[in-house]
Amino acid sequence: MATTLNHKTSNLGSIIAHHRDAILHAWSRDMIGSTRRNDLMKESELQAQCQQFLSLLQQATSQGSNIQAPAYDQLRDMLTEISRTRAIQGFNSRETAMFIFSIKQPLFTAIRESLGKDAAAMAEEIWLTTEIIDGLGLYTTEAYIKTREDTIRRQQEEMLELSTPVVKLWEGVLALPLIGTLDSARTQVVMESLLEAIVQTNSKVAIIDITGVPTVDTVVAQHLLKTVTAARLMGADCIISGVRPQIAQTIVHLGINLLDITTKSTLSDAFSIALQRTGIKFVRAQKKESVE
Amino acid sequence: MEKIPILRMGEFLLVTIQVDMHDRLALTLQDDLTNRISETGAKGVLIDISSLEIVDSFIGRMLGNIASMSRVLDAQTVVVGMQPAVAITLVELGMSLEGVRTALNVDAGMELLRKSINGHEEMEYGSYFR
């Protein structure tokens, strides 16, 4: 069977060699109609890709039809690169896959011209070609999706880093404005960065502002409690601010005990308590009135 | 045998843990410390754990126990300089060391002790900032 395959596929290689120009011409003409995006990619670039693909396909098919074989390494590398750049350029998955699938018709035409007299050989050749092109198309789509997933993962990581800034409000007073939903992974980062900052800045009070947290459920409350307790163990006091009315209701309905923790409705209230605790008093300059 | 030194500073005792705690050492410390408190009549104990990087539930409980024992012997205990990783571990173990007072560093801990000795009515946790 292997020899038959090799024999048949080596045919495809020579067919491509014979009809190279016709295939290229028909292929790029087809692409104009279906999937070409002049706004995203230059014509010359696309032509170069087509030519390179066809040469590599010709080389590879002359050595078998198994697209996982080493003979296809170069071709697969090229497709990975194409999918990667197209994912970045903004092509959608359909447009990326159609780059490969649109070569089918020109190839079939070429096969028919070469083997038109031998129906059985033609059917065999077309089947093999379909198999190869489908395999390559799927491979391209996989590579495309992988690139997109990598992008999403990278963005998630960046978001995780960016979303937990610890800011210093005053000597000995830190604030941690939380934005977005808290899950276990994020809370771990939040907790660690807050505690590290407490050590680094020698802060006695830390304010956790949850104005930007959309919902507080038992898990989130649990995480907050843990962070506050850990900070207390290190010798710092935690204040939770930005508790909205709905959140206050939810917390009480869920039966979460936040009694041991100072909670304030706004960051400014929390800040003034924090200053009071660090022993700082503000006095109005002219009237000399205490602004506590 | 290995021992953790207990230093006397006026009416306070200062314990600096600079080696990895193992169970035997912890028990020895508990023994020595309670003896020293009753010998010297110390009013406060300051335990510096800033070099302690690994804790388990036993060490955590021991810290709590030492604090309770000191209180029975009429001495305040302050634990200072806990590392973030240690704090997280203790919280994850479910030990919040209720009743143990904490401070960021030795300075803050000493101030806390002095305050609590001067004003005995402010003995509950939370008196730190007043």
Are A140 and A100 in contact by the 8 Å Cβ rule? The answer is yes
CA distance A156 to A78: 28
* pLDDT greater than 50 at residue B129: no
Q: Higher pLDDT residue, A286 or B109?
A: B109
Does the beta-carbon distance from B109 to A234 stay under 8 Å? no
The percent of residues in chain B predicted with pLDDT above 70, rounded, is: 90
Does the beta-carbon distance from A195 to B87 stay under 8 Å? yes
Comparing CB atoms, the residue among B86, B92, B103 nearest residue A235 is B103
B85, containing H or E segment: helix B84-92
Residues of A in contact with B104 (CB under 8 A): 198-199, 202-204, 234-236
Which of A237-241, A282-286, B45-49 is predicted with the least confidence, judged by mean pLDDT? A282-286
Per-residue pLDDT band at A288 (split at 50, 70, 90): low
State the pLDDT at residue A37.
64
* pLDDT greater than 60 at residue B130: no
The size of the A-B interface in CB pairs under 8 A is: 63
State the pLDDT at residue A239.
93
The percent of residues in chain A predicted with pLDDT above 70, rounded, is: 91
State the pLDDT at residue A158.
83
**A120: exposed, middle or buried (Cβ count in 10 Å: 0-12, 13-18, 19+):** exposed
E-assigned strand segments in B1-130: 6-9, 12-16, 44-48, 76-80, 101-103
* pLDDT greater than 90 at residue A184: no
pLDDT digits (tens, 9 = 90+) for A140-173: 999 999 988 998 999 888 877 776 788 999 988 9
Per-residue pLDDT band at B104 (split at 50, 70, 90): very high
* pLDDT greater than 80 at residue A128: yes
Q: What is the mean pLDDT of chain A?
A: 83
Average pLDDT over residues A170-181: 88
Does the beta-carbon distance from B90 to A233 stay under 8 Å? yes
Per-residue pLDDT band at A60 (split at 50, 70, 90): confident
Whole-model pTM over 0.80: no
For the ranges A83-87, A243-247, B31-35, B115-119, the one whose mean pLDDT is highest: B31-35
pLDDT digits (tens, 9 = 90+) for A2-36: 444 444 445 777 888 888 888 888 887 777 665 55
Are A176 and A213 in contact by the 8 Å Cβ rule? The answer is no
Are A129 and A62 in contact by the 8 Å Cβ rule? The answer is no
Per-residue pLDDT band at B7 (split at 50, 70, 90): very high
Q: What is the mean pLDDT of chain B?
A: 85
Mutate to test the interface with A, among B49, B63, B77, B91 (most CBs of A within 10 A): B91
Amino acid occupying residue B100: V
Per-residue pLDDT band at B94 (split at 50, 70, 90): confident
CA distance A3 to B58: 71
CA distance B117 to B111: 10
State the pLDDT at residue A250.
85
pLDDT digits (tens, 9 = 90+) for B26-76: 999 999 999 999 999 899 999 999 998 888 889 888 888 998 999 899 898
Per-residue pLDDT band at A84 (split at 50, 70, 90): confident
State the pLDDT at residue A198.
92
